[in-house]
Structures are given as C-alpha cells and as structure tokens.
C-alpha cells in the first residue's frame, strides 16, 4: 500500500503532548509519512503555556511549498494557525490542492491558555471554506456560531463531545443533510488528555489520506484516540500526554474504492 503523505500545519508543543509532536506520533503510528509547516513555537508543558512565538506567514508558506513541490500531499491537517495573516495565506495556497483538509480550529489549550486571538479566530472563516472537515470541541463550536454556521461553509463537521460533563463522550459526524454518524464511549476518569484534539484530527487526516470514506475514517480516528488515552504514560504534573506511540496493534479498514 502506498504510504499516505500527511502535511501538518500547526504549532510546536515543547512538552510533546499536543501540536505537531502529537500529530507526528499519530500519523507515524498509523502508517503515514508526516510532514510539517510549523506556525508557532510554544514554551509549553502539562501545566500550561508559558510563551508563544508565531512563525512569520512567509516562512509557513515556504514550508508548505517545499514539501508540496517535492514529496506531494495526500491530506492536510491544520491545527494552531498562529495569526490571522497566516490563516489567510495558508487558505489561499491550500485551495490549489485537491486533497482532503482537516481543520482543527484550535483556540485554547487543554490547560486553558489562549492560542488564538480574536483576529485569528475571525480568519477561521476562510479556512473553513477550504476544509473538508472541521473538528471543533464544544467551546470552539460555540465560538464559531454553532453547527449550522460551520456546515454553511460546505464542509463536514466532527463535533467533539469531550468537554461535556456526561458519563459518556458523544462524538458526532455531520454533513449538509444532518447527522451521519455518532459514537458514544464511556468517559475515562483521567487528566491525561493533553493533545486529544490534535490526535483526533491527525488520525482523521491519515485515514482520509489512505483513501477511506469520511464515516470510516471518523470511526477509526475516534477509536485510535480512545486507545491512546488508555495508553497514556502518566507524565508531568498536570494534563499529561496521550500514548500514541503505544498503540501498536491498530488496524485500519480497507480503502474505499467508490
């Protein structure tokens, strides 16, 4: 099987729990080749974000052009975008690619630290217009205007349920005609959830890059995240990282040919 080439456009997490570090681990464990365009550098650990330095938009674009022009891309995952300028320039460039694009509209870290200002969040509108799937958590979905507002951009919506207070986590996949699939799983009593959103979006992008249909890719991405939570190594004194590197027996479904 051809190795899926996954371009990750996201920020760096120095603690290795979220951001491009979580993305690379996820894509690698799922059999993909991870490539990156770093949008921001953070000083970050399990307790929070101590500092953020955005990468200039021109440099982000140069990274994208470098890998696209040589290696090629089968799917894209967008996470922390860094600035409104970067959001707009990235959207314009990705519009030229005929590949699945998964947009995780990162606004706040698991610790509660702000990772996107008001101007950047406003620029998310442009990214949603070129995305195949948008993957907000409950607060992010509310900030984006709700389900109807997101779906109005012509994308699919993966509405994550991890921020609810119920005993079960409900993740929902929606399309233009309403809900396509929902998955319910028992909530794990753990604080080791740093990077769950990044991991889910990267797993989804890898599945789509492998040629899976949206529903199957959704099901298997959720499954991968849940296993990675159970495999968390228990590092740090706050919200610890997942254990993507320990999910060694995960099997993707067959490629969709229709």
The residue annotated as part of the active site, out of 198, 206, 210, 211, is 198
Are the C-beta atoms of 229 and 242 separated by less than 8 Å? yes
- pLDDT single digits (tens) 115-127: 667 888 888 999 9
Fold for domain 5-235? Answer: 3.40.1190
Q: To which H or E segment does residue 36 belong?
A: strand 33-45
Distance in angstroms (rounded) separating the CA atoms of residues 168 and 243: 21
**Alpha-carbon radius of gyration of the chain:** 16
How, if at all, do strands 75-78 and 5-13 pair? Answer: parallel
Residue 6 backbone phi and psi in degrees, to 5: -110, 120
| pLDDT above 70: percentage of residues in the chain | 92
Please tell me the predicted confidence (pLDDT) of residue 258: 37
- Give the closest residue to 57 by CA, choosing from 93, 90, 97: 90
Instruction: State yes or no: pLDDT of 92 exceeds 90.
Output: yes
| Tens digits of residue pLDDT in 107-117 | 866 655 556 67
pLDDT of 43 over the 80 cut: yes
Kindly give the residue spans of alpha helices, DSSP state H, lying in 18-56.
19-29
221 or 185, higher pLDDT: 221
DSSP bridge pairs for 185: 169
| 252 touches 210 (CB < 8 A) | yes
Look at 235 and 252; give whichever has higher pLDDT. 235
Catalytic residue among 161, 197, 211, 240: 197
Read off the pLDDT band of 56 (50, 70, 90): very high
- State the residue for tokens 């997101």: 150
Residue 184: count of CB within 10 angstroms of its CB: 11
Q: Which has more pLDDT, 252 or 153?
A: 153
Beta-bridge partner residues of 35? 7
State the catalytic residue, choosing from 26, 36, 110, 196.
196
Q: Is 2 a catalytic residue?
A: no
Going by DSSP bridges, is the β-strand pair 75-78/48-54 parallel, antiparallel, or unpaired? unpaired
- For the residues of 51-103, what is the DSSP string, one character each? EEEEPPHHHHHHHHHHHHHHT--SEEEE----SHHHHHHHHHHHTT--S-EEE
Residue 233 has pLDDT above 50, yes or no: yes
pTM for the full predicted model: 0.93
160 classed as catalytic? yes
CA distances from 96 to 53, 109, 133, 152, 215 (A): 28, 30, 17, 21, 25
Helix/strand/coil for 7:
strand
Mean pLDDT of the chain, nearest integer: 91
User: Per the structure block, which two tokens stand in for 152?
Assistant: 């109005």
240 is catalytic: no
Out of 25, 160, 210, 216, which one is annotated catalytic?
160
| Residue 67 pLDDT exceeds 60 | yes
Selecting among 195, 207, 211, 240, the annotated active-site residue is 195
- Give the pLDDT confidence of 164-183 residue by residue, as tens digits: 677 788 999 999 989 999 99
Told to judge if 197 belongs to the known catalytic residues of this protein, a careful annotator would answer yes
Per the annotation, the verdict on 234 as an active-site residue is no
Pairing state between β 133-134 and 101-103: parallel
Query: Tokens 């975008």, residue?
Result: 81
pLDDT in tens, 14-31: 999 999 999 999 999 999
C-alpha separations of 237 from 52, 112, 185, 234 in Å: 21, 15, 26, 9
- Given a cut of 70, whether residue 143 has pLDDT beyond it is yes
Banded model confidence at residue 37, pLDDT cuts 50, 70, 90:
very high
Q: Is 17 a catalytic residue?
A: no
Inform me whether the pLDDT recorded for 257 exceeds 50.
Answer: no
Degrees to nearest 5, angle at CA 55 with 75 and 122: 70
């Amino acid at each position: 099987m051809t190795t899926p080439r996954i371009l990750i456009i996201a920020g760096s997490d120095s603690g290795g729990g979220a951001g491009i570090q979580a993305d690379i681990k996820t894509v690698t464990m799922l059999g993909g080749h991870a490539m990156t365009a770093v949008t921001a550098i953070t000083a970050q650990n399990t307790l929070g974000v101590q500092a953020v330095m955005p990468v200039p938009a021109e440099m982000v674009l140069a990274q994208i052009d470098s890998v696209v022009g040589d290696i090629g891309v089968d799917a894209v995952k967008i996470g922390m975008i860094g600035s409104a300028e970067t959001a707009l320039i990235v959207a314009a460039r990705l519009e030229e690619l005929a590949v699945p694009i998964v947009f995780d509209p990162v606004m706040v870290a698991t610790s509660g630290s702000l990772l996107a200002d008001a101007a950047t969040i406003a620029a998310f509108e442009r990214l949603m217009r070129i995305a195949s799937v948008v993957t907000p958590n409950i607060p992010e979905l509310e900030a984006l205007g709700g389900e109807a507002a997101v779906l109005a951009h012509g994308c699919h919506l993966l509405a994550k349920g991890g921020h609810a207070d119920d005993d079960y986590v409900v993740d929902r996949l929606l399309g233009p005609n309403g809900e396509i699939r929902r998955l319910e799983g028992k909530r794990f009593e753990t604080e080791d959830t740093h990077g769950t959103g990044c991991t889910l979006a990267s797993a989804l992008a890898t599945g789509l890059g492998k040629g899976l249909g949206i529903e199957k890719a959704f099901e298997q991405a959720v499954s991968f995240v849940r296993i990675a939570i159970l495999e968390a190594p228990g590092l740090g004194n706050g919200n610890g990282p997942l254990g993507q590197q320990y999910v060694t027996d995960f099997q993707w479904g067959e490629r969709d040919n229709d």
